[in-house]
Amino acid sequence: MSLPETDKKFRINDISKMILPEMVPEQLQLLGITKNDISNGCFEEASQKEAPGLEKIKLINERARSIKAKNNDLYAEFSTKEKPSQLCLVIENSDIFMYQANQLLDLLPNTPKNDQIYKIVDQLIETATMVGYSTGSNDSFALTDRYTNSGYNTSVTKPQSGGKSKAQKSENVKTLVNEMALHIYQDENLCAAPKKMLAEAIQKRLADFSIQGNNKTIPALLQFTNRTPEYNSIMKWLKPMKQPKNAIPTPKPSLERIIVELKTAFKPQRIKKHLNI
């Protein structure tokens, strides 16, 4: 199956933001590229080194820095010192890890590096690395797979002349709504917000956005009355999402507080990016 050039271009750009493109070999094959076209260094070679666990951490750090140097990290424009981007966290945590690893090595017995104790420690490092990666991958898929697959099936595997564009625009708005909800649910001080309140807050934020400037003419919003998705539609989109539960119960936030947070986190530039503007 061949992909339309535009879809192929966007997908290659998405994969170029990955630290370990080796983890999606089927995507690389579909696009007709190799991991060497995307990333520096070789994951397989790192696996063959004397200390593969440490070598993989080093490789992850180097690739993360390379992506950042190309200004290709996700949501870089929203990254701050208080809330760094995921890529910044990868770099920072891998630096901390290497420092801690050196401390550990200094505490280990003065024995040859090929001694069994060193091998076990490195195996633990390698296993923990892959567990962390698989955990993050699983959680990302849990939140995005429904939308990625439906968008992919609409625009790539089953191209249609009439409904393709409209379906994709609707999917963009739906994905935006779910990301807004996820943002609130990830805040331990706001996650107790009922879905009805959350849906109302999201609708108010999008309504406020749509009346600003020429936003009512954004193609993705033209399908909605008043250029804003209906409350019932938002509730329908939020229905599959599970509300997290804190170990310690927290009070329900006010509607106004949720709206303020959405205005702060989802400024016009970010909303337009989701709507492909």
Q: Highest mean pLDDT: which of 15-24, 133-142, 172-181? A: 172-181
Task: Provide the phi-psi class of 46: left if phi over 0, else alpha when psi is between -120 and 50, else beta.
Answer: alpha
The residue ranking higher by pLDDT, 220 or 77, is 220
Rounded to 5°, the CA angle 179-136-249 comes to 65
For the ranges 61-65, 112-116, 162-166, 244-248, the lowest mean pLDDT is seen at: 162-166
| DSSP, residue by residue, the chain | -PPPHHHHHHHHHHHTT-S-GGG-HHHHHHHT--GGGT-SS-HHHHHTSSSHHHHHHHHHHHHHHHHHHTT--TTGGG--SSS--HHHHHHHHHHHHHHHHHHHHHHS-S--TTSHHHHHHHHHHHHHHHHHHHHHHHHHHHHHHHHHHHHHIIIIIS--TTTHHHHHHHHHHHHHHHHHHHHHHTSTTTTT--HHHHHHHHHHHHHHHHTSTTGGG-GGGTTSGGGS--HHHHHHHHTTSPPP--SS--PPPPHHHHHHHHHHHS-HHHHHHHTT-
In this prediction, residue 265 carries a pLDDT of 93
In this prediction, residue 277 carries a pLDDT of 63
Indicate the pLDDT class of residue 138, thresholds 50, 70 and 90.
Answer: low
If you search the block for the tokens 């260094």, which residue do you land on? 41
In this prediction, residue 258 carries a pLDDT of 93
For residue range 144-194, what is the model confidence (pLDDT) as tens digits? 544 444 443 434 444 444 444 555 667 889 989 999 999 998 888 888 899
In this prediction, residue 159 carries a pLDDT of 44
Is the pLDDT reported for residue 123 higher than 80?
yes
Q: Domain boundaries in the chain?
A: 5-155, 165-274
Return d(Cα 266, Cα 202) in angstroms, integer: 10
If you search the block for the tokens 């999008």, which residue do you land on? 206
Rounded to 5°, the CA angle 86-145-250 comes to 60
Which residues have C-beta within 8 Å of that of residue 72, sequence separation ≥ 6? 16, 17
Across the range 256-271, mean pLDDT stands at 93
- Rounded to the nearest integer, the mean pLDDT of the chain is 79
In this prediction, residue 176 carries a pLDDT of 92
For residue range 54-73, what is the model confidence (pLDDT) as tens digits? 888 898 899 889 888 888 77
